[in-house]
A and B are shown apart, each in its own frame.
Chain A
Amino acid sequence: MFSWFGKVNFTPHTKVGRFADYLKDGRLMGSKCTRCGRTDFPPRADCPECLSGEFEYTDWSGRGSLMTYTRIDAAPTGFADMVPYIIGLVKLEEGGRLVAWFGESIPEAEIEIDMQLQVVPRVFGEIEEIKVYYTLEKPGTTWNKTPA
């Protein structure tokens, strides 16, 4: 049941499961509490402010800046075939943060803390098992949707 989004991701089986469907359509969605209006990324079903369980999805631009990063050379089980890979922690323009890999548009030598980034949704057979995810790319990079 955990197979279609990310290596072990179970978001489709959570209260914010439609995040994955939106991502497949190229939209990066956060959540907005319909009672108090608080927004969150990653999306969450339960408002930490007013405790409401009612929310709607709202579009995030995917624009952000790099807070920090690391290049993983010693991989955990399941990721050995990808080594080395670079993980970035990104502060998003509309609020919230995410962790993701760097994509092809940014070589390692160009990575700098505080650089501007574009989070790009992706659907691929390019990495086995991973059907939907997102990568960190140069600003302006658009999503080249590949037919599933």
Chain B
Amino acid sequence: MTRVGIVGIGHGRFGRRSDATVQELAFEAFREALGDAAIGREEIDAAVIAAVPEYHKQRSLTGVIMEYLGLNPKPAWLTEDACASGSAAVRTAWMAIRSGLHEVVAVIGAQKMTELATPEILALMGRVGEVQWESIFGTTFPGYYAMLARRHMHDFGTTKEQLAAVAVKNHYYGARNKQAMFQREITLQKALSSPPVASPFQVFDCCANADGAAVVIMASEKRARKISDRVIWLDGLGSATTSMSLLRRPTLTSLPSAVESARQAYEMAGVGPGDIKVADVHDCFTIAEILAYEDLGFCEPGQGGRFIEERQSYLGGKHPVNVDGGLKAKGHPIGTTGVSMTTEIVKQLRGQAGERQVEGADVGLTHNVGGNGQYCFVHVFKKE
């Protein structure tokens, strides 16, 4: 089977970027990715844009990005799967390359959320729940994950301190990531005394809306080997969906789409959870990272709270997770996030993560969730 590899990565600064348009944000990451791959624009055959369009004043983002990046007349299209749009784009790029239609594809995650006020964003995101039967009661995105957290606490004894410990870890690593929105450590006390959002969540249980872009350049095995001598291979892809509404969810203490995505990705890559040396997971809320530990098989169901308490997801632990700061500290420009995760795992497998480097990382994983579990993508990457 011919492989598909990542040959270039670029990552802009995440945060409140009132200094730049969305296409200017895309350019930051694109310039870096081209330099990283040491190729020219003319070598790119197509682009997949990852963004959630409703946050932008600009309609049909793909057009403005292609023009500003100077990629016309190459073909381009948008992928949207809520917060998993980035990984959906990586998956479609893989498909485009494996089909033989394109040799080199740029995946461009670009999102500018802060053109809207927070209550408007909460309303839009809340509608990623089911609008007919749920949103009329003022459900919010934090509210959905909060309800999953509440049930996890009830069933397994997970504590608010364990939830907060996820935020403490991710801020610790965010303080060591120059592209992160929040580059400072926090204490457990600070997290536990922050204002309420949706019980049991407080401000520090939630990631922040952010602006930012990330780019990965993917290529067929033949072209990848010509372009680069440090290709990172995308060898396992898993993806699944689950019910839009909580009204028809088979479980409230796991994301079934994540469990199924992981199963597929492990099988395709011929690895198991024990082989994963480093992972970037979708910690939009603290409980989401705890569910990810369990859904990915890093620990037993219900044991995620203990996993973080024992610092198993820190560098040196059993499975280092989100040692780039995760969504929590990096910020969550929703369309970009899956692409950002991919750049981090590529860095880790190349051995370029600096003080955040996981020693001997040869197999890594991304876990990108859309909505509150409606969509999930798990990708397994290998170093040669």
A residues bordering B, Cβ < 8 Å? 6-11, 14, 42, 67-80, 82, 84-85, 87, 89, 96-101, 113-114, 133
Contact = CB atoms under 8 A, between A and B. Distances in A.
Contacts of B246: 89, 97, 99
A114 B155 CA distance: 11
B138 A74 contact: no
Tell me the interface secondary structure of chain B in the complex.
Answer: helix
B196 A73 contact: yes
A53 B247 CA distance: 21
B316 to A, nearest CB: 35
Interface in B140-163: 140, 142-143, 146-148, 150-151, 154
Interface size class of B (residues with CB under 8 A): 35 or more
Contacts of A96: 247
B286 to A, nearest CB: 14
Contact of A67 (B120, B198, B199, B252): B252
A85 B68 CA distance: 45
Contacts of B38: none
Contact of B143 (A70, A77, A80, A100): A70
B133 A99 contact: yes
A133 B247 CA distance: 17
Contact of B132 (A9, A75, A82): A9
B133 A74 contact: no
26 contacts: A11-B132, A14-B132, A42-B132, A67-B252, A68-B150, A68-B252, A70-B146, A70-B147, A70-B199, A72-B139, A72-B140, A74-B118, A76-B119, A76-B123, A76-B126, A76-B140, A77-B120, A82-B138, A84-B196, A87-B138, A87-B147, A97-B246, A97-B248, A98-B133, A99-B134, A100-B137
A47 to B, nearest CB: 14
B151 A113 contact: yes
Contact of B147 (A42, A69, A74, A133): A69
Given A72-B143, A74-B122, A74-B197, A8 B252 contact: no
A98 B130 CA distance: 11
Given A75-B140, A98-B133, A99-B137, 12 more contacts: A9-B136, A42-B247, A67-B151, A70-B150, A70-B200, A72-B143, A73-B199, A74-B196, A82-B138, A84-B196, A85-B137, A96-B247
A133 B143 CA distance: 20
A87 B131 CA distance: 15
B100 interface: no
Nearest to B144: A70
B195 interface: yes
A8 B196 CA distance: 26
Given A6-B136, A67-B252, A113 B154 contact: yes
Which 3 A-B residue pairs are closest in the complex by CB-CB distance?
Answer: A76-B123, A6-B136, A79-B138
Given A73-B195, A77-B119, A10 B132 contact: yes
Contacts of B134: 99
Interface in B189-244: 195-201
